[in-house]
A and B are shown apart, each in its own frame.
Chain A
Amino acid sequence: MFSHLVLGLRSAGLPASITEYLTLMGAMKAGVAEYSVEDFYYLARATLVKDERHLDKFDRVFGACFKGLEMPEGVKVQDLPEEWLRKLAEKMLSPEEMAKIESMGGFDALMKRLQELLAEQKERHQGGSKWIGTAGTSPFGAYGANPEGVRIGQDKSRNRTAVKVWDKREFRDLDDTVELGTRGMKLALRRLRRFARQGAATELDLPDTILATAKNAGSLDLKMVPERHNNVKVLMLFDIGGSMDDHVKLTEELFSAVRTEFKHLEYYYFHNCPYERVWKNNRRRHEEVIPTWQVLRTYGPDYKLIIVGDGAMSPYEITMAGGSVEHWNEEAGTVWLDRLKGHYRRAAWLNPTPKQSWGHVRSIAMLNDAMEGRMFPLTVSGIDEMTKELSR
């Protein structure tokens, strides 16, 4: 009856299964949702979504599946400032298209079209390629697939109130749900595991107990040891945006693999070359920056540092103060690399570009030198080599 919802969810990448579908049917039969669409929406969400990361995807699919029915709650689209529309149009259109629209009536025509779209839109609408709303392929609106898209809507929790969040640019956070092809990486990373006995003694140490009991002339003398835990700590820095966009899939696979493999995993993002600041959330990269000093202070030298980046940039971004393309950096990239390397004795750089091409890019050679040759290609064998190097 609602199988198209489940199928839609699955094709959108949500791990909904038959078990969950049957549960939903069972709950419907038991009358949990009764006859309200809103309750059904909540029930379906509680049944089919198991992670808050997927909530938004679910809303999108639900909206598409039950188009025309009353919607759970409307997200109001605010009046768009004209200046922003103008900027958006500039961003959106190629020179040829600009010329075409110019001939048809100039920018005002485009503005008019955008405003028409807004006016026509009476209720929340998701999906589709025409409407301004959330999650369509149209570049107007939030959660779109268009990387250049400008968002209308809220950062993550979509409450009743409409809030405008104009992100400066949409860099999507790495999705760690990519499972395909991560097995090889996981196996390679497993080599980094380091088992150590730490904490409370909870396990019976059989050999020692036998020995102690024998020494004690047969009366029982128990010996305990703490349990073995994987004790490796990993700090990862990801280059994000710009030329890294080409390698997003590979990087996501790596991210997914490390997330499941290590208990002590910390990660931050940077752009091109690590400088005095990093960030944790790409949507808020301009507001919530974390000083690299703080990272150095927080995570001790027992962490293993893995930097992931393609290293393709202007050499000035590495060697010169103020060379960063994004901001004025007081100290050059090499200074920060040396600092990171000095603090973390076990450090390596993973590069998603093929090793053969490294020679052609000067900045890669410079980074490789700065890392003392510990740059490895982001392939299963490259990770393998890296883990050998890091666990030495």
Chain B
Amino acid sequence: MAAFKSTERYIASRDLEVAVNAAVTLQRPLLVKGEPGTGKTVLAHEIAEALGMPLIEWHVKSTTKAQQGLYEYDAVSRLRDGQLGDERVRDIGNYIVRGKLWDAFDADKQVLVLIDEIDKADIEFPNDLLLELDRMQFFVYETRKTVAAKFRPIVIITSNNEKELPDAFLRRCFFHYIRFPDRATMELIVQTHYPDIRKDLAREALNVFFQVREVPGLKKKPATSELLDWLKLLMVEDLPIEALRANEKHVVIPPLHGALLKNEQDVHLFERLAFLARRGG
């Protein structure tokens, strides 16, 4: 059996590997939580890559209904066609629109389904998918047919913790919480993404980055994806190291901070701290 391991582009901790392999082996959904920007969505892409499976992505929004993942019956266009006397109207199957899960169940080989940000949807959303994800089949009322998965897809679900998920749903999943990487892991991640980055630049940038994360009261702490964006900017701009090292003792606004701080209140906070630092000498 193909097992999931860290790749050249994605550093997975051992506990994540175990969780993914358990989900793949037992063919149960894997629920991934973690701070925004720690690579939850990217994980699904990497697993699909590693196991050589096609990836079907279902991005959930606040208006998404569970039914939309299965199928939708387009009654309105059927009514219109009925008025216009279209022949297609006799077969109700013409008005059944397939959803992402149907596509996944119908695939001729095992696929990987990503249900992204499940917590965005209504509270009832996970409950409505219980049976479908458990048995990997559902019933189409309009055509009186059951759609069952030819190959049980691997399901990866991500959540940003905006809402509690129901117990019955959780019981059917494996769970993994992506911790924020420590410094050593972070260096590894930077290495894999930018192998040709200057060593000193990476070191100084990580110093600044972890310093920024330490600042109390930040609304949104920068995470891995912000760090990678920022490093890219730094590399493109080719800033001298001194710009980052400006003042080691005090908090300074890092150059090109737009990539790290995504909230104007956070930028204000930094300006205030930098001002105090200057005044304090």
Choose the segment among A50-58, A320-328, A366-374 that binds chain B (4+ C-beta atoms closer than 8 Å): A50-58
Partner of A50, one of B15, B23, B80, B171: B171
Q: Is the interface of A mostly helix, strand, loop or mixed?
A: mixed
A interface footprint on B135-177 (CB within 8 Å = 1, 0 otherwise): 0000000000000000000000000000111010011111111
Contact A46 B18 (CB under 8 A): yes
> Given A50-B170, A199-B63, A284-B216, are A30 and B175 neighbors across the interface (CB < 8 Å)?
no
**B273 close to chain A: CB less than 8 A:** no
Contact A19 B171 (CB under 8 A): yes
Contact A46 B182 (CB under 8 A): no
| Residues of chain A with a CB closer than 8 A to B19's CB | 42-43, 46
B24 to chain A, nearest CB (A): 9
Chain B residue nearest to A279 (CB atoms) is B217
| Residues of chain B with a CB closer than 8 A to A32's CB | 18, 21-22, 25-26
| Residues of chain B with a CB closer than 8 A to A55's CB | 177
**A341 close to chain B: CB less than 8 A:** no
Contact A160 B182 (CB under 8 A): yes
> Given A27-B22, A47-B22, are A220 and B83 neighbors across the interface (CB < 8 Å)?
yes
**A33 close to chain B: CB less than 8 A:** yes
**B249 close to chain A: CB less than 8 A:** no
**B236 close to chain A: CB less than 8 A:** no
Name, among B22, B80, B123, B182, the residue most crowded by chain A CB atoms within 10 Å (CB to CB): B22
Contact A23 B26 (CB under 8 A): yes
Contact A50 B25 (CB under 8 A): no
**A45 close to chain B: CB less than 8 A:** yes
| Residues of chain B with a CB closer than 8 A to A38's CB | 14
A334 to chain B, nearest CB (A): 27
B interface footprint on A144-162 (CB within 8 Å = 1, 0 otherwise): 0000000000000101110
> Given A42-B19, A220-B80, are A287 and B176 neighbors across the interface (CB < 8 Å)?
no
**B97 close to chain A: CB less than 8 A:** no
Which residues from 66 to 109 on chain A have a C-beta closer than 8 Å to any C-beta of chain B? Answer: none
B83 to chain A, nearest CB (A): 6
Contact B182 A30 (CB under 8 A): no
Contact A157 B31 (CB under 8 A): no
B interface footprint on A201-223 (CB within 8 Å = 1, 0 otherwise): 01010000000000000011010
Contact A51 B175 (CB under 8 A): yes
**B28 close to chain A: CB less than 8 A:** yes
Which residues from 78 to 95 on chain B have a C-beta closer than 8 Å to any C-beta of chain A? Answer: 79-80, 83
CA distance A288 to B30 in the complex (A): 34
Name, among B31, B167, B172, B175, the residue most crowded by chain A CB atoms within 10 Å (CB to CB): B175
Which residues from 19 to 41 on chain A have a C-beta closer than 8 Å to any C-beta of chain B? Answer: 19-20, 23, 26-27, 30-33, 38-39
B interface footprint on A190-207 (CB within 8 Å = 1, 0 otherwise): 000000000110101000
Q: Is the interface of B mostly helix, strand, loop or mixed?
A: mixed
**A169 close to chain B: CB less than 8 A:** no
**A129 close to chain B: CB less than 8 A:** no
A292 to chain B, nearest CB (A): 14
A253 to chain B, nearest CB (A): 16
CA distance A222 to B83 in the complex (A): 13
| Residues of chain B with a CB closer than 8 A to A27's CB | 22, 25-26
**B76 close to chain A: CB less than 8 A:** yes
**B275 close to chain A: CB less than 8 A:** no
A interface footprint on B167-196 (CB within 8 Å = 1, 0 otherwise): 100111111110110101000000000000
CA distance A159 to B170 in the complex (A): 25
| Residues of chain A with a CB closer than 8 A to B5's CB | none
Partner of B31, one of A33, A50, A160, A287: A50
CA distance A42 to B20 in the complex (A): 11
Partner of A159, one of B15, B174, B179: B179
> Given A20-B171, A39-B14, A52-B33, are A46 and B83 neighbors across the interface (CB < 8 Å)?
no
CA distance A157 to B14 in the complex (A): 16
CA distance A39 to B23 in the complex (A): 14
Contact A45 B83 (CB under 8 A): no
> Given A157-B180, A222-B76, are A47 and B174 neighbors across the interface (CB < 8 Å)?
yes
> Given A27-B22, A46-B19, A46-B22, are A219 and B175 neighbors across the interface (CB < 8 Å)?
no
CA distance A30 to B22 in the complex (A): 9
Chain A residue nearest to B83 (CB atoms) is A220
**A301 close to chain B: CB less than 8 A:** no
Contact A23 B15 (CB under 8 A): no
**A49 close to chain B: CB less than 8 A:** yes
Chain A residue nearest to B80 (CB atoms) is A220
Partner of B26, one of A15, A26, A219: A26
Name, among A17, A30, A46, the residue most crowded by chain B CB atoms within 10 Å (CB to CB): A46
Contact A17 B171 (CB under 8 A): yes
B180 to chain A, nearest CB (A): 6
B6 to chain A, nearest CB (A): 15
**What are 14 A-B interface contacts by the 8 Å CB criterion?**
A17-B171, A27-B22, A31-B25, A32-B22, A43-B19, A46-B19, A46-B30, A46-B175, A46-B176, A52-B33, A55-B177, A199-B63, A204-B76, A289-B217
B contact set with A: CB distance below 8 Å: 14-15, 18-19, 21-23, 25-26, 28, 30-31, 33, 63, 76, 79-80, 83, 123, 163-165, 167, 170-177, 179-180, 182, 184, 216-217
Q: A32-B18, A32-B21 are in contact. List 5 more A-B contacts (CB 8 A).
A: A19-B172, A26-B26, A39-B14, A42-B18, A50-B31
